[in-house]
Structure 1
Amino acid sequence: MAENEVLKIFDHNYQQISTATRQVIHSQGFWHETFHCWFYTIKEHELIVYFQKRASQKKDFPNQLDITAAGHLLAEETVIDGFREVKEELGIDVSIDQAQFLGVFPVEIALENFIDNEFTNVYLVDQELLLGDFYLQEEEVSCIFSVPLSTLKELFENPSAEAILKGVTQKNGQQEIIEEYFSKKDFCANAQSYYDRLIESFEKILEIQ
C-alpha cells in the first residue's frame, strides 16, 4: 500500500537524514521529495496547461485538479526515476532530454491529520495532449483538462470566478471529450507560492515565443 512506501527524510537544506514510511512522514510533517511533471502547449499565442483530475476513489484530494503527472520518490529512487509516474499515469514515455527542469519548489501544507512538507522537483514538457494521445491509469486519474494560462490566473486571483474547461475523460479504456465548470476550490491544495512561481515561469515561456 502507498502508506507503507518508504521515502527519504530531509532537513530544511534538502540533505537526507533518514527514511520512514509515507504514513509516518505525513503524520509527523517530515520533509520528503516528490516529482512533478507539467505538460503544456502554446496555441494561437495562448499557453495551455494540462491538469489531471484525480480519481474519485483517491484517498487524498479526490476529484481535484492536480499536476499533469506526479508522485512521491521512493527511498531507493533518484529524481530522474520520477518520470515513471508519467508512464504509469498517462501511458506516455518521456525522457529527461524532452523535459525542462524548472527547479526545486519547497511546499508546506498543513491540513487536518495531514502535514505535507515537500521538496518538489518540477519539470515541464512541451507536448500537446489530445484525445488518444495518452492512456489514463483510471484508478489514479479520471480526466485530463486543458487550462489556458489566462484562465488559470483569473481563477486564482478571483476565488469566486468560474470557468468551463474542456477535457478528455476515460472510463473502461474508452475516452471522450467533456466540459466541466471549475473554480479555485476545485484545484488540489498546494502552497500559493508554488502556483505563483509556476504561473510566472509559464509567463516567461510565453513572452519569448
Structure 2
Amino acid sequence: MEFVNIFTETYEYIGVMEREEAHTRGEWHEVFHCWCLSCDEGEWHVYLQLRSPDKKDYPGLYDITAAGHLEADESVEDGVREVKEEIGIDVAYEELEKVALLDTWIGKDREFAHEHMYVCRHSFSQFTLQEEEVEDVDRVSWEDFKRLWLGTAVRINSAKGHTLQRESFVPHENEYYPKLIEAIDRALIGRT
C-alpha cells in the first residue's frame, strides 16, 4: 500500500492516508512534476509523455514529461526519482529548477503539484521508457504548446508527426496549463 500526506485546500498538513483512499475521498495531496525542455537554434521545445494504453487512468493521452505522487515519507526532492523511473534519465534534483506550486485537480483527484523544469540535452534514442507507464516520448514547439493552451491554436504538430489537440492531453483542471505556461515562461527569460 502507498501512503501520501494530505492537506487542507490552503496547503496545511493534516496527516497521512492511503493513496487510493485519498483519491476516493478527494483529499489534497502532493505530486512531483518535471517538464523537460530543450533549445534548438534558439527555439524551445517541450517533451511530452504518451501514457501507456494499459494505464488505469487516462491511457493513451499526452502528459507531463515525468511525474508521480510523493509518498508520505518523501521530500519534494525525492520526487526526482520519477524522471529516472519513467523516462530513464538520471538527473540530480539540483539540475532542476522549481518553477511553481500549483493546485490542480482532475475530477475528485486533488493535487498540489510541485512543478519543475529541466533543460534537457537528450535525443529520443537516449530515453529508456518504463513500458507499463509510458508508451512514448514526443516533443512539440514550446510556442505551439502555448498557442494550444492559450486558445490561439486548435491543433499542433509534434516532432514525430502527430497532430495534437487539447483532447490529446490529460485534462488537468483549474487553469492548470495557462498557470504552468506562465511559470515556465518566467523561468525561460534570458535563456537560449
Unmatched tracts of structure 2, length 5 or more: none
- How far apart are the structure 2 equivalents of 1:44 and 1:119? 34
Tell me: CA distance 1:104–1:160, structure 2 relative to 1, closer, same or farther (3 Å): closer
User: What residue in structure 1 maps to residue 163 of structure 2?
Assistant: 181
User: What residue in structure 1 maps to residue 154 of structure 2?
Assistant: 161
What secondary structure sits across from 2:161 in the alignment?
Answer: strand
What secondary structure sits across from 2:55 in the alignment?
Answer: coil
Identify which of 28, 33, 42 aligns with 2:30. Answer: 33
2:147 counterpart of 1:150: no
For these two proteins, the number of residue pairs brought into alignment is 191
User: What residue in structure 2 maps to residue 170 of structure 1?
Assistant: none
Identify which of 103, 108, 129 aligns with 2:105. Answer: 108
Structure with the higher strand share, 1 or 2? 1
Identity %: 36
Q: Does the CA-based 8 Å contact 1:12-1:31 persist in structure 2?
A: yes
User: What residue in structure 2 maps to residue 173 of structure 1?
Assistant: none
Q: Does the CA-based 8 Å contact 2:105-2:174 persist in structure 1?
A: no
User: What residue in structure 1 maps to residue 173 of structure 2?
Assistant: 191
TM-score normalized with structure 2 length? 0.92
Deviations 1:16-45 (A, max 9, x none): 212111211111110100000111012223
Deviations 1:66-125 (A, max 9, x none): 000000011111111111111110111111210111121111332xxxx11111111111
Which amino acid is the alignment partner of residue 109 of structure 2? Answer: D
2:10 counterpart of 1:13: yes
User: What residue in structure 1 maps to residue 190 of structure 2?
Assistant: 208
Q: CA RMSD in A?
A: 1.7
Which amino acid is the alignment partner of residue 147 of structure 1? Answer: V
Which amino acid is the alignment partner of residue 136 of structure 2? Answer: C
Q: Does the CA-based 8 Å contact 2:150-2:178 persist in structure 1?
A: no
- How far apart are the structure 2 equivalents of 1:67 and 1:184? 14
Alpha-carbon shift at residue 206 of structure 1 (Å): 4.2
Unmatched tracts of structure 1, length 5 or more: 167-177
TM-score normalized with structure 1 length? 0.85
Alpha-carbon shift at residue 160 of structure 1 (Å): 7.2
Tell me: CA distance 1:202–1:102, structure 2 relative to 1, closer, same or farther (3 Å): closer
